[in-house]
Structure 1
């Protein structure tokens, strides 16, 4: 079935590229339609009206339908997490949902015969990002039955069961779901700029994918370095010998990785992850010719999640490993320190021998 170019009601009327990033033009006018969208969707679903569903999808503003989907997931996350008392439900789809949203924008553009080169490029990268993150999560046992992020258990000990239920309502199952929609909204801007001017592709469309792939490669390298260290540490704890290990006995006794990228950043994988979504946001800025725009809320929220969770992770590490406090003083949390004394492996090994 051939669909026409989307009607004016589906996409905002913009006259300039900066208009494509104007919240009051591109998103705010559609928010009141959320209620009617849900009612219409329910009507088509109950009557099994597949052609109607397809037409509704293709003629609804894509940012609005994506937001509606994120809102619909909130009660699902809440019910499942409370039913099995496992608060890692959003964590389990963290590596999948952003790609689902990117795929949504690409499919919507294809259905409505809009230029899709930017959408296709972003989606291809997003698939790579999801595959890497999903594999890493699976490798750590995140999908095992009964597995749960230890941080939620620590928080539960601090605020109690009732407090955790309230936190689940206000943040875990709600804000995090919306955040996974928000970080993908730059794709909406890329879609709008392509519709406004199909010839707007420029240097940023080459530079942004290159930077994204570089960051993904560095993130993968950091995770592999950590995985290699943890495997060597487990073997050392089992045999009491650093057999066939690239790490010294002192490094294995220390208990945490301080080699490779981890020598310059305490969380190089987290740093790359945050930089990926900042780059996608910057791509939207460059495409629209704006210095900042409303889609930055998603990127800032993403940074906020890391800013809130990383200190808890480091608090646990500081309690387990005596030398971690020195590591914190010498090495930057995300970005390498440019001034002051950095990590000195030889010095730390001498300190360890004096104990």
Structure 2
């Protein structure tokens, strides 16, 4: 039996999603900052991934609302503990997800986006274009609710890997895909670092030129090594 009228494997994630939707929406009203849900992108998919990876370990009955549960009908709750093949599949996917989230969290932190006062400039632009009542409807339906649903959906591949697909020992193609994912992650991390270095130098340069009286405009003499080396 599920608390919400949804498929069993979505019961707890849906509860958690609604809780976070309400929480981020209320926080946006109290702070006049609608970027509260933006900060969840760095780690929330990992929570959903961990829930599905450990699905057989959760109790069949929910001790209290919002507590993780594996209701009957979820597909694995009748098993005793994790099945080795399913655990490996879920673990590999979970490990890649954690590395992606670590990279995203690091970039978010060094850009100062974990500051609760920081708001994505695009929301400010949208706020200026819409009447206040319409912006608040957008805030509830898209910024708070839709984004939280998307974050939930990012965890579903782990459910597919751990429960729905047939399990067999990892093959060479599995290792190749994991290696490819890690290479893509490394390239993305390098590109993020280069972009951050460039924009840091750009803003420092523009601030210096603005402070200099009679300074002439010039091209940015930029290189990543110059920024890293001070």
* Same fold flag (TM > 0.5): yes
| Bigger relative CO (Cα 8 Å, ≥ 6 apart) | 2
TM superposition outliers: structure 1 runs of 4+ over 6 Å: none
Query: 1:82 matched to which residue of 2?
Result: 29
Q: How far apart in 2 are the matches of 1:150 and 1:119? A: 37
Indicate the structure (1 or 2) with the bigger Cα radius of gyration: 1
How many residues matched?
A: 192
CA contact (8 A) 1:63 1:188 kept: no
How big is each residue's C-alpha offset from its partner over 1:193-228, in whole Å with a ceiling of 9 and x where there is no partner? 46xx43264344213211221111111111111112
Equivalent position to 2:193, from 215, 224, 229: 224
Q: Tell me what 1:100 maps to.
A: 47
Unaligned runs of 5+ in 2: 59-80, 210-217, 225-230
Q: 1:152 to 1:203 in 2, by over 3 A?
A: same
* Residue ranges of structure 1 left out of the alignment (5+ in a row): 1-8, 10-32, 38-59, 241-248, 261-355
Task: Please state whether the residue corresponding to 1:208 is helix, strand or coil.
Answer: helix
Structure 1, residues 18-68: CA drift from partner, whole Å, max 9, x if none? xxxxxxxxxxxxxxx44379xxxxxxxxxxxxxxxxxxxxxx944332233
Q: 1:202 to 1:109 in 2, by over 3 A?
A: farther
8 Å contact from structure 2 (residues 94, 158) kept in 1:
no
How far apart are the structure 2 equivalents of 1:235 and 1:35?
52
Post-superposition Cα deviations, 1:254-309, rounded to whole Å, max 9, x if no partner, equal xxx9x99xxxxxxxxxxxxxxxxxxxxxxxxxxxxxxxxxxxxxxxxxxxxxxxxx
Contact map agreement 1:78 1:173 (CA 8 A) in 2: yes
CA distance in 1, matches of 2:159, 2:46: 13
Confirm or deny that 1:169 pairs with 2:140.
Answer: yes
User: Which residue of structure 1 lines up, in the alignment, with residue 89 of structure 2?
Assistant: 118
- Tell me what 2:152 maps to: 181
Q: 2:173, 2:136 → 1: CA distance? A: 44
> Within 5 A, what are the aligned runs for 1:121-132?
121-132=92-103
In the aligned structure 2, how far is the partner of 1:237 from the partner of 1:64?
Answer: 52
Per the normalisation by structure 2, the TM-score is 0.74
Is 1:211 aligned to 2:180, yes or no?
A: yes
The CA deviation at 1:109 is: 4.1
Q: Which residue of 1 aligns with 2:205?
A: 236
After TM superposition, give the deviation of residue 144 of structure 1 in Å.
1.6
